[in-house]
Amino acid sequence: MKRSTLICLLFLAYCTFGYRLGVTSDDISKIYLTGSMLIRTTPGTGIRFYDLSRPTSPQARGSIALTQNSDVAVKGHYMYADNGLDLLVYDIADAGHPVMVDSIHYAFQSLGLNYVPVDTPIAESSTGTSGCHACSQETPVAAPSTGPMTSGGTGSRNQAGSMARFAVVGDYLYCIDDYSLRVFEIMDPARPRYKNRIEIGWQIETLFPYQDKLFIGGSDGMYIYSLARADSPEPLSEFHHARRCDPVVVDGKYAYVTLRSTGACGGNDNQLDILDVSDVTSPQLVNVVPMTGPFGLATRGGLVFVCDGPAGVAIVDAANPQKPVKVGGLTGITAHDIILGDNVMIVTAESGFFLYDLTDIRNPRPCGTLQF
């Protein structure tokens, strides 16, 4: 085979399926907290639900077998999940018995810039799933009332980990793939409708909504998009750096970005960047905090919690961004992502999920675990 032909075939495979080395956001379990219910994804296996109303004794509530799932997001008692190229909708009012109620096939098709996802009927599965499997582009129908959600019901505060690729903002679901943003209207949360596809950049990785904006992390920087037109987000600015992995979270006028040198990320730097985004059209680097091998992160009240890989979780006091200080942390785990709940912190790690009491937020105390 000619060398030029081989290169073309490798490039086509890259564009079609993606290509990653080392640990990436698609290789680790994602976490999503809705009320007191934790949703976790496990690559190659599916989705599990846990009741965290008693963090010292988390209880398994149910599961969904999806071998090609990576991300989830929730509105009310409906959960949106990818499964390969398809977008699926589940009623999770009873997390012990989730029911699929809709789907959009080929919603995440990569090739063809003008491709529009379509609905085609799919057969009932042997697991007994039921509902409207092919009606997201048809006239919406009323969803059945299923009673209060065990996780706290409609209106409970939802939080995704910083490695998420899905986000719900108001009546829209936003999803990213390697280089584009897809928009679905979910005014009727049981019946998503495909609205738009927007090219962002090469190898975008994470999605963080804040107020009326989307902050998108990629291998070469951060992108900020306005949601003034919710069905057609518009670019406001970009902040670029050398090629590295790049989850981002935002609190007030500052954005926090982790850069990692391992795996597919390239480069040599491992650090936490603090950016001033008070002018969203021109983000400015304020400071850099050295790290070991950072992945996901979360922030609250001037504190930044960084999952620093084999170094555990670093806690950085960034109340004065000109002089950030490491004020503590957690060791003994290889940490990947994190959610700060009202009273509990959830950390994903190589060996399982760890829960910490946040009564003293600077000194989280272990209170529960979930094993893979």
| Poorest-pLDDT segment among 61-75, 87-101, 122-136, 247-261 | 122-136
User: Phi and psi dihedrals of 336, rounded to 5?
Assistant: -115, -45
Predicted confidence at residue 119, as pLDDT, reads: 63
The yes-or-no verdict on residue 138 having pLDDT over 80 is no
Domains of the chain: 23-112+154-370 (2.130.10.10)
Residue 148's pLDDT band (boundaries 50, 70, 90)? very low
Residue 125's pLDDT band (boundaries 50, 70, 90)? very low
Type of residue numbered 155: G
In degrees, rounded to 5, the angle at the alpha carbon of residue 317 between the alpha carbons of residues 344 and 307 is 55
Is-contact 255 277, C-beta < 8 A?
yes
In this predicted model, which residue has the larger pLDDT, 293 or 24? 293
The yes-or-no verdict on residue 170 having pLDDT over 50 is yes
Kindly tell me the burial class for residue 49, based on how many C-beta atoms sit within 10 Å of its own C-beta (0-12, 13-18, 19 or more). Answer: buried
| Poorest-pLDDT segment among 147-151, 156-160, 290-294, 322-326 | 147-151
Predicted confidence at residue 303, as pLDDT, reads: 97
Strand ranges of the sheet holding 193-199, from the earlier edge strand across to the other edge: 166-169, 172-176, 180-185, 193-199
Max CA separation in the chain (angstroms): 64
